[in-house]
C-alpha cells in the first residue's frame, strides 16, 4: 500500500478553517506563538521519533520489489517462489495493514497515540526477523503479514499523534512529514537493493524500528489524549515541555479541553440517514476506493518485476531507484504547493496525468508484444513475464518509455490523488462521525489494495501485462468524472461553509468565501 494513506488531517491556511474546532487567539498572537514554537526543538524531535514509523512503513511496503526477482532464482528449493506465492507475498502486507488500521482505532483510545506507535514496533521487528531468517515461503508470508499489521497501526496512529502535539501554526508543515518519510523509506529500500541481498534488506529494516522505539521512550503522550483520560496536570506539563516555558500553553490547554468536550458525543444510527452525514462519508469512501483502483499499490509492490518484463534499457533495479527518487521529489513539491491551488484542479490534473501514463504504458506493451500471451513459454523460471516470448525486444531509447511513463504516473499521483484524498477526508467528514468514517475509509482502501496486488500477477499471466494498465487508465478516466460531479471545492472554505453545503446542497455556501 502506498505511503499516501498516511496523510494526516491537515487544515487549510485560511484563518476560518481549523482541522479541529478550536477557538484560537488573534492572528498576531498565533504568529507570535508559532514563532516561539518553531524555536522549540523538542516538538520537532518528538515528530521525528514518530515518523520513523512512517519510514519503516514505506520501506516494508516495497520490500517485495527487489526480493521477488531474487527468490525466483533462489538456490534453496523451499524458497523458490511460484506465481501464486508471489501474488500472496506481494498482497498479504495490505491484508495485515487492514487489520492494523482497524485495531489502531481501539489502541489509540486505550493505550494512547504514543504507546500505539511503540506497540507497532513489536510485530514489525518480529516480521523482519522472520523474513531475514526465512527457510521457507511460509516464513516470508508471515513476516509480510506482521510488517503489514505494524504499518496499518502506524498509518492510523502517527498522523493523529503529530496533529495533536503540533501547534496550529506548524501543523501543516509537520503534517507533511509522514508522507515524506514513507516515500523516503521506499527510496532507501530501492537504493539498498542495489547492494544488499534480500536477507540483509530485512536486517536493515530493523534499524529504524529500534531507533523509533528508543526515541519514543523519552517523548510525551499527546495532550489531547491525556485530557480525554482526565490527566489535566500531566497534559499541562506536556504542553509546557512541547511549547516552551515562555508560551501561552495554558490558553492552548483550555482550547484543547473544550474541543475534547465537544467531540465526546458519539453519532447515533438514526443520524447516519441525514444527508449531511452520509453524503460526505460516501464521497470520502469512494475517493479511497478509486485512489487504490488507479493502480498505485501493485505498481510500487511489483515495480522491479514490471521493469524486468518491459525490457527497459536500464537494469530494473536502477529503474526502480530512479522512480523512487522522482516519487520523493514529487511528494516534496506537492507538500509545499497543495494549499496554493484548488483541490479539484489538482485532482483533475493528477487524474489526467495518471490516465495518460497508464494508457501510454499499456499501449507500449501491447504493440511491442507477440500475439499470444497464453503460450506456456511466457513463464520462465517463475519470472513475471519472459521478455523472450512476450516482447518483440524493442531497442534503443524507445525502451525508456515504460520508465518515463511510470515516472509520470508517480508524479501525477503525488500531485493530487495521493495526498488530497486524505486532506479532503479531514475537511468534509462531520466531526462526530470522523472516527467511524475514517476507519471505514482505511478498511476500504486496504482491502482494495489487497485485491489488486493479490490478482495483479495472475491477470498478467493469463491476459498479458498491458491489461492491468489499460484497466487502470479506465479507472483514471472515471476519477475525472467523479471529481467533476461529486467532489466539492473546499479550498478557503470554513468547516461551517462545507457543512452548510452538505446540509442544503446549495452551492452558494461554497462561493465567494475564498
Give the pLDDT confidence of 116-139 residue by residue, as tens digits: 899 999 999 999 999 999 888 999
pLDDT in tens, 301-349: 888 788 877 766 667 777 778 888 888 888 787 767 666 766 788 888 8
Q: How large a percentage of the chain has pLDDT more than 70? A: 73
The CA-atom distances, in angstroms, between 70 and each of 218, 304, 382, 498, 500 are: 40, 11, 11, 51, 55
* pLDDT of 232 strictly over 80: yes
User: At residue 16, does pLDDT exceed 50?
Assistant: no
Which residue did the predictor score with more confidence, 314 or 393?
Answer: 314
Give the SS3 label for residue 369: strand
Residue 486 CB: number of other CB atoms within 10 A? Answer: 12
The answer to whether the CB of 149 falls within 8 A of the CB of 107 is no
Taking a C-beta distance cutoff of 8 angstroms, is the pair 24, 251 a contact? no
Q: Residue 462 pLDDT more than 70? A: yes
Q: Running DSSP on this structure, what letter comes out for residue 130?
A: H
- Residue 10 in this model has a pLDDT that exceeds 70: no
Give the pLDDT score at 123: 95
Segment 460-471 shows an average pLDDT of 89
SS3 at position 391: strand
Calculate what percentage of the chain has a pLDDT beyond 90. Answer: 21
8 Å CB contact between 300 and 65: yes
Contact between residue 354 and residue 413 where contact means Cβ atoms under 8 Å apart: yes
Can you give the pLDDT at residue 401? 84
Q: Angle CA(438)–CA(442)–CA(443) in degrees, nearest 5?
A: 115
Cα 67 to Cα 137: distance, rounded to the nearest angstrom: 12
For residue 333, what are the contacts with CB-CB under 8 A and spacing of at least 6?
414, 415
99 vs 345, residue with greater confidence: 99
Answer yes or no: is pLDDT of 274 > 90.
Answer: no
Q: DSSP per residue over 264-318, as a string?
A: TPPPPTGGGGSHHHHHHHHHHHHHHHHHHHTTHHHHHHTHHHHHHHTT-SS-HHH
Mean pLDDT of the chain: 77
How far, CA to CA in Å, does 347 sit from each of 128, 350, 405? 36, 5, 19
Cell numbers describing residue 475:
479507472
Phi-psi region of 512 (alpha: psi -120 to 50; beta: other; left: phi over 0): left
Number of neighbouring beta carbons within 10 Å of residue 452 = 26
User: Which residues, listed in sequence order, are joined to residue 369 by a DSSP beta bridge?
Assistant: 391
Q: What is the pLDDT of residue 48?
A: 93
3-state helix vs strand vs coil in the chain, percent to 5: 75, 0, 25
Three-state secondary-structure class, residue 16: coil
The reported pLDDT for the residue numbered 457 is 86
Q: How far is CA 33 from the centre of its chain?
A: 31
Distances in Å between the Cα of 79 and the Cα atoms of 134, 136, 198, 260, 473 are: 8, 5, 12, 52, 35
Predicted pLDDT at 368: 80
Q: How far apart are CA 47 and CA 26, in angstroms?
A: 26
H/E stretch holding 504: helix 495-504
230: left (phi over 0), alpha (psi -120 to 50) or beta: left
Rounded Cα distance between 156 and 7, Å, is 9
- pLDDT tens across 206-222, in order? 999 999 999 999 999 88
Amino acid at each position: 500500500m502506498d505511503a499516501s494513506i498516511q496523510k494526516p488531517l491537515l487544515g487549510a491556511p485560511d484563518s476560518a478553517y481549523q482541522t479541529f474546532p478550536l477557538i484560537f487567539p488573534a492572528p498576531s498572537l498565533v504568529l507570535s506563538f508559532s514563532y516561539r514554537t518553531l524555536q522549540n526543538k523538542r516538538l520537532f524531535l518528538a515528530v521525528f521519533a514518530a515518523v520513523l514509523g512512517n519510514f519503516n512503513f514505506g520501506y516494508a511496503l516495497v520490500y517485495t520489489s527487489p526480493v521477488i526477482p531474487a527468490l525466483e532464482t533462489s538456490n534453496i528449493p523451499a524458497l523458490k517462489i511460484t506465481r501464486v506465492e508471489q501474488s500472496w507475498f506481494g498482497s498479504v502486507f495490505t491484508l495485515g495493514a487492514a487489520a492494523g488500521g482497524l485495531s489502531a482505532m481501539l489502541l489509540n483510545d486505550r493505550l494512547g497515540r504514543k504507546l500505539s506507535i511503540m506497540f507497532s514496533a513489536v510485530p514489525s521487528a518480529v516480521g523482519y526477523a522472520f523474513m531475514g531468517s526465512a527457510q521457507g515461503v511460509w516464513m516470508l508470508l508471515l513476516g509480510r503479514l506482521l510488517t503489514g499489521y505494524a504499518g496499518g497501526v502506524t498509518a492510523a496512529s502517527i498522523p493523529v499523534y503529530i496533529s495533536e502535539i503540533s501547534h496550529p501554526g506548524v501543523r501543516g508543515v509537520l503534517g507533511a512529514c509522514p508522507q515524506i518519510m514513507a516515500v523516503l523509506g521506499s527510496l532507501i529500500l530501492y537504493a539498498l537493493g542495489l547492494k544488499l541481498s534480500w536477507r540483509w534488506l530485512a536486517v536493515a529494516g530493523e534499524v529504524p524500528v529500534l531507533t523509533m522505539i528508543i526515541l519514543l521512550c523519552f517523548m510525551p503522550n499527546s495532550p489531547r489524549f491525556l485530557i480525554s483520560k482526565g490527566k489535566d496536570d500531566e497534559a499541562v506539563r506536556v504542553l509546557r515541555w512541547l511549547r516552551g516555558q515562555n508560551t501561552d500553553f495554558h490558553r492552548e490547554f483550555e482550547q484543547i479541553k473544550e474541543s475534547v468536550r465537544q467531540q465526546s458525543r458519539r453519532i447515533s444510527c438514526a443520524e447516519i440517514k441525514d444527508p449531511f452525514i452520509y453524503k460526505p462519508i460516501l464521497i470520502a469512501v469512494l475517493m479511497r476506493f478509486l485512489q487504490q483502483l488507479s493502480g498505485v499499490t501493485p505498481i510500487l509492490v511489483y515495480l522491479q518485476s514490471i521493469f524486468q518484463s518491459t525490457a527497459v534499457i536500464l537494469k530494473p533495479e536502477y529503474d526502480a531507484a530512479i522512480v523512487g527518487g522522482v516519487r520523493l521529489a514529487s511528494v516534496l513539491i506537492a507538500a509545499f504547493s497543495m494549499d496554493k491551488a484548488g483541490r479539484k484542479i489538482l485532482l483533475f490534473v493528477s487524474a489526467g496525468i495518471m490516465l495518460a501514463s497508464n494508457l501510454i504504458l499499456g499501449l507500449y506493451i501491447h504493440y511491442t508484444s507477440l500475439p499470444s500471451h497464453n503460450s506456456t513459454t511466457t513463464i520462465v523460471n517463475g519470472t513475471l513475464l519472459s521478455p523472450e516470448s512476450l516482447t518483440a525486444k524493442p531497442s534503443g531509447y524507445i525502451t525508456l518509455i515504460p520508465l518515463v511513463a511510470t515516472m509520470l504516473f508517480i508524479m501525477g499521483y503525488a500531485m493530487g490523488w495521493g495526498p488530497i484524498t486524505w486532506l479532503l477526508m479531514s475537511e468534509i467528514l462531520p466531526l462526530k462521525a470522523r472516527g467511524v468514517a475514517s476507519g471505514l475509509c482505511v478498511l476500504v482502501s486496504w482491502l482494495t489494495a489487497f485485491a489488486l496486488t493479490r490478482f495483479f500477477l495472475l491477470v498478467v499471466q493469463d491476459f498479458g501485462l498491458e491489461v492491468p494498465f489499460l484497466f487502470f487508465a479506465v479507472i483514471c478516466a472515471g476519477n475525472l468524472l467523479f471529481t467533476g460531479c461529486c467532489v466539492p471545492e473546499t479550498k478557503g472554505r470554513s468547516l461551517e461553509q462545507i457543512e452548510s453545503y452538505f446540509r442544503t446542497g446549495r452551492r452558494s455556501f461554497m462561493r465567494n468565501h475564498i
